[in-house]
Amino acid sequence: MEKIEFLILRNLLYNEEYLRKVLPFIKDDYFEDLEQKIVFEEISKFVFEYNTLPTKEVLCIEVEKRTDVNEEQFKKLTHLIDHLEDISVEQTWLICTTEKWCRDRAIYLALMESIQLVDEKGNKSRDAIPSILQDALAVSFDNHVGHDYLLDYQERYESYHKTEDKIEFDLEYFNKITKGGIPSKTLNIALAGTGVGKSLFMCHVASSVLLQGRNVLYITLEMAEEKIAERIDANLLNINIKDIAELPKSVFETKVNNIAKKTQGSLIIKEYPTASAHSGHFKGLLNELALKKSFRPDIIFIDYLNICASSRYKGNSNINSYSYIKAIAEELRGLAVEFNVPIVSATQTTRSGYGNSDVELTDTSESFGLPATADLMFALISTEELEELGQILVKQLKNRYNDPTMHKRFVIGIDRAKMRLFDVEQSAQKDILDSGKEEEYNYEESKKPQLKEKFGEFKF
């Protein structure tokens, strides 16, 4: 019986339609036989370099050039190439069979890699096993190869008029810079120094989303579940955080029940030890919540990104902080895409950025790979003057939803005692540089004063 690998190589050599369809998805590692692997490598290399199919003669010449092939192997290779004949096979069946073979081989190789990780070999940790197997199971020949600008205009037009479900803020300027809120499948990052208000910001937004009737999942790796709940109590119950413990149980119960009557949503707070949990744990939590509580979050808060672990790398592996933090960011964004939710998290500023009144992207702690991955990134800045006014400055650092130069800086009110943020009067924004619309830069207009000074009062 003819092996599928031989059938694949034969059609790669003679069937151009088949080759164009399957070549991007086949990996040389899928071939167990060394000679078959070498022939595939040469076919693939020739097609990518010359954009046409090679002949048998070309393959033999290219194989002879290889320095890793001895005389005995060369004989086997020429024998294999000589037997690659042009015999027609039903196209649809061939493509489906090739796809199944690719998936089976990918799963087999993933299992082999997983066994190595169990034996603690390689840079990846055991926690990477689920994602490795998932990637292998997802192998498929995707028919969609891109958006045709001229032919797919109807789909494009419909997408322009499709109402996107967004999580709205209860803060005016945050809705302005995000065009009405943050959409699903995104990673949104607050950058701030220690004690500025990263957790306060996330607790406030979590509280406001709960009041919208949505489900909220708050994952904490820094503070205890009870401490996060205490902050949310201060916000929602409108009570100074220091006075919550002094409330009589009956009053506290009444206030919480009143909140429950105002919303159809739920808020779950889950604590993990610092640097011990990664996207794989969060995925397991989401599946468990869906199974046991029928709870599916509309938004996820992770407090905070830098103290998460990576599912792909061991925490003690020899890897730089740039790659490690970027891996965490990519995994969290992948989680957001998989579960169709926005994720909100935070990161620390560098030592030089701490206390700086004009934080930049370069002040991101540990890894510049984080802002490269985030969809929205903004800095929370506090100074003594702002603290006296009960305000905090927000500066846009990256924005995929809107023009980041519009309202690049703005202030919001902060009530640390009640863990709340609020809109300030419009007059408070007037003294903030870049708070309004940017004036369009006009080169000709900018040159007029210089020209007048040089040539006098000519009419321009």
Predicted model pTM: 0.65
pLDDT digits (tens, 9 = 90+) for 384-395: 898 999 999 999
Residues shown for the chain:
460
User: Could you give the percent of the chain with pLDDT greater than 90?
Assistant: 50
Q: Which CATH superfamily includes the segment(s) 166-429?
A: P-loop containing nucleotide triphosphate hydrolases (3.40.50.300)
Q: What's the CATH fold of domain 4-137?
A: DNAb Helicase; Chain A (1.10.860)
Taking only the tens place, the pLDDT of each residue in 85-135 is: 888 888 888 888 999 999 999 999 999 888 888 877 767 777 788 878 878
Span 26-30, mean pLDDT?
Answer: 91
pLDDT recorded at residue 43 = 94
pLDDT for 125 equals: 76
C-alpha separations of 374 from 165, 309, 400, 416 in Å:
19, 17, 9, 27
| Domain range summary for the chain, segments of one domain joined by + | 4-137, 166-429
Q: Which residues contact 126 (CB under 8 A, 6 or more apart)?
A: 117, 118, 120
Take residue 23 and report the two structure tokens written for it: 């070549």
Alpha carbon distance 81, 65 (integer Å):
15
Instruction: Of 294, 243, 246, give the one whose Cα is nearest residue 268.
Output: 294
3-class secondary-structure state, position 168:
coil
163 pLDDT higher than 80: no
pLDDT of residue 121: 73
pLDDT for 135-161, tens place per residue? 888 787 765 667 888 888 888 888 888
> What's the CA gap between 371 and 365, in Å, rounded?
10
pLDDT digits (tens, 9 = 90+) for 406-441: 889 999 999 999 999 999 988 878 767 554 444 333
Please provide the average confidence, as pLDDT, over all residues in the chain: 85
Q: Is the pLDDT score of 26 beyond 80? A: yes
Residue 191 exposure: Cα atoms within 13 Å on the Cβ side: 30
User: Are the beta carbons of 9 and 40 closer than 8 angstroms?
Assistant: yes
Q: What are residue 121's phi and psi, to 5 degrees? A: -110, 140
443 pLDDT band, cuts 50/70/90, is very low
